[in-house]
């Protein structure tokens, strides 16, 4: 399964997201990785309980809520709170991995609740011409496409597929 959903974030929402990210408090991405993923995860991630993350999460969830394609394709019972990753400098890749099948919410009122994650999504916040590398590669797809979408677009794929983010 591979579904591209255009314009999850509007131009205005992207501007808001980029403004929030300018002074974002990035930390080691391995903090949210399981034992296997931590061995290949080399990126930065926003803390899940930070106010910047909460504001970004709201933008993304509002964008998803307006997408009929997302709801038709995903049929979500619940949506795990989005994680925000940054690739650059020495923290520039995430090797082959499979996303966790069950994730635990680690903040807020839902803290401790577990969510089964059958689908994963990658939302691009920058246009492809603005950075080198960073392609999402999903193993097992014909031609093994290197996915790098316009800002605001999301790709939805099975969480059980082996995938990576290229340096």
74 three-class SS: helix
pLDDT of residue 50: 95
Q: Which residue's structure tokens are 């966790």?
A: 100
Structure tokens at 64: 């998803």
3-state secondary structure of 37: helix
Instruction: Report the run of H or E that residue 93 belongs to, with start and end.
Output: strand 93-97
Q: How far is CA 32 from the centre of its chain?
A: 13
**3-state SS class at 38:** helix
167 residues of the chain, pLDDT tens digit each: 899 999 999 999 999 999 999 989 999 999 888 888 889 999 999 999 999 999 999 999 999 999 999 999 999 999 999 999 999 888 889 999 998 887 877 788 888 888 888 999 999 999 999 999 999 999 988 888 899 999 999 999 999 999 999 99
Report how far residue 130's alpha carbon sits from residue 43's, in angstroms, rounded to the nearest whole number: 18
Q: Could you tell me if 73 and 17 are in contact, meaning their C-beta atoms sit under 8 angstroms apart?
A: no
Which of 147, 124, 131, 121 is closest to 13 using CA atoms?
A: 124
| The pLDDT value given to residue 90 | 84
Return the pLDDT at 82: 94
Residue for token pair 């994650």: 117
- Which of 121, 142, 145 is closest to 5 using CA atoms? 121
Residues in the chain: 167
**For the chain, how many structural domains are there in total?**
1
Whichever domain contains 111, its CATH number is 2.60.120.620
Amino acid 119: pLDDT: 95
Q: Which of helix, strand or coil describes residue 161?
A: coil
Q: Which of 46, 40, 2 is nearest to 160 (CA)?
A: 2
Q: Which domain holds residue 154?
A: 2-165
């Amino acid at each position: 399964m591979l579904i591209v959903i255009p314009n999850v974030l509007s131009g205005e929402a992207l501007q808001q997201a980029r403004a929030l990210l300018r002074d974002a408090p990035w930390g080691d991405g391995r903090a949210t990785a399981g034992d296997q993923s931590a061995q290949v995860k080399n990126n930065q991630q926003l803390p899940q309980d930070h106010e910047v993350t909460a504001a970004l999460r709201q933008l993304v969830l509002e964008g998803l809520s307006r997408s009929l394609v997302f709801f038709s394709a995903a049929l979500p019972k619940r949506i795990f709170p989005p994680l925000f990753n940054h690739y650059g400098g020495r923290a520039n890749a995430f090797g082959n991995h499979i996303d966790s099948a069950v994730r635990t919410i680690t903040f807020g009122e839902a803290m401790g609740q577990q969510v089964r994650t059958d689908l994963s999504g990658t939302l691009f916040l920058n246009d492809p011409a603005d950075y080198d590398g960073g392609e999402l590669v999903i193993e097992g797809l014909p031609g093994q496409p290197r996915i790098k979408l316009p800002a605001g677009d999301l790709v939805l794929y099975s969480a059980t597929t082996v995938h990576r983010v290229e340096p």
